[in-house]
Amino acid sequence: MNKVTVLGSLNVDTILRFKRFPKPGETLPLTGKSIAGGGKGANQAIAAARSGAQTTFIGKVGQDQEGTFMVHQLTDSGVDDRYVLHSDAANTGSAFILLDSSSENRILIDGGTNQQVTPTDVEAAKEAIVDSDFLIAQFETPLDAIVRGFEIARAAKKRTILNPAPATKAVPTDLLAVTDLIVPNETETETLTGVHVTDEYSMIKGAEKLQALGVENVIITVGSKGAFWMRGTDHGFVPAYKVHAVDTTAAGDTFIGALSAVLRADFSNLSEAVRLANRASSLAVQRLGAQPSIPTKAEIEAAERI
């Protein structure tokens, strides 16, 4: 069983459903509204735990009902919440997810306490990082905290996985220097490298540019098409499973969490881990909501037998 620590965000998601996105100045009725747990960090941690990893979370919530709700979302899925801090300086993070009838989404985020995670907070969780096989982070918490977490992991010879989302060009070189695996989607790849991802050739060029920035192992996810991987000079493309998607909100987070649960520390099974992560993601997109959609290990195994 892999041990995974996730440093990241916790958001309460408000999901607004409608037939189509309104035009400027237009008013349209909702077809549905729901509340669910979210945040890229929390999604990835829950996906890792439900996929069988022993998972710990590092993050921060407010002294509010939303914070209590988010901690319960973690613990109900078996995630260790010892390093989830409570702050009265801001509210728990929140997100508003706009979802049309074709399952296209647009997301607005209020970072709240996610933006208050500090390097000192990460230092306090050093024991969990050192005891893990993998440390995962995204860009919904401050970069200096992520850099410190990755430095601790690298010093302890633990593997680091960076999901550079939301996309930003200002990725510190000292963060990339301590990143073992980077997992952007096609948009994030273009932001980081300038390569417009359209086919396998451009995926190779994008991955090579990411390697030139200092990260040897790369996965580029391309939505319903699948995922491209590169390890050293080896590379390949793993097609996605064809399903009817109803909500793609947590698809990428499910992919990363499930990947971390089965990936070997030497990345020798990277291609197979990507395939299993694709399977988990394909189950998630068939359900509504971020965390409610994330499958369990038993569900993934059952789908593998079909």
| Positions marked catalytic | 253
Rounded to whole angstroms, how far apart are CA atoms 71 and 176?
30
248: annotated binding-site residue?
no
Judging by beta carbons within 10 Å of its beta carbon (0-12, 13-18, 19+), is residue 268 exposed, middle or buried?
Answer: exposed
277: annotated binding-site residue?
no
234: annotated binding-site residue?
no
12: annotated binding-site residue?
yes
Rounded to whole angstroms, how far apart are CA atoms 27 and 37?
27
The answer to whether 207 touches 180, Cβ cutoff 8 Å, is no
223: annotated binding-site residue?
yes
75: annotated binding-site residue?
no
Tell me 99's DSSP state: E
42: annotated binding-site residue?
yes
287: annotated binding-site residue?
yes
DSSP element (H, E) containing 67: helix 65-76
149: annotated binding-site residue?
no
Q: Which residues contact 17 (CB under 8 A, 6 or more apart)?
A: 30, 31, 32, 33, 34, 99, 100, 101
Sequence ranges of the binding site for ATP: 185, 221-226, 252-253, 278
Sequence ranges of the binding site for substrate: 11-13, 39-43, 140, 253
Sequence ranges of the binding site: 11-13, 39-43, 140, 185, 221-226, 247, 249, 252-253, 278, 284, 287, 289, 293
Sequence ranges of the binding site for K(+): 247, 249, 284, 287, 289, 293
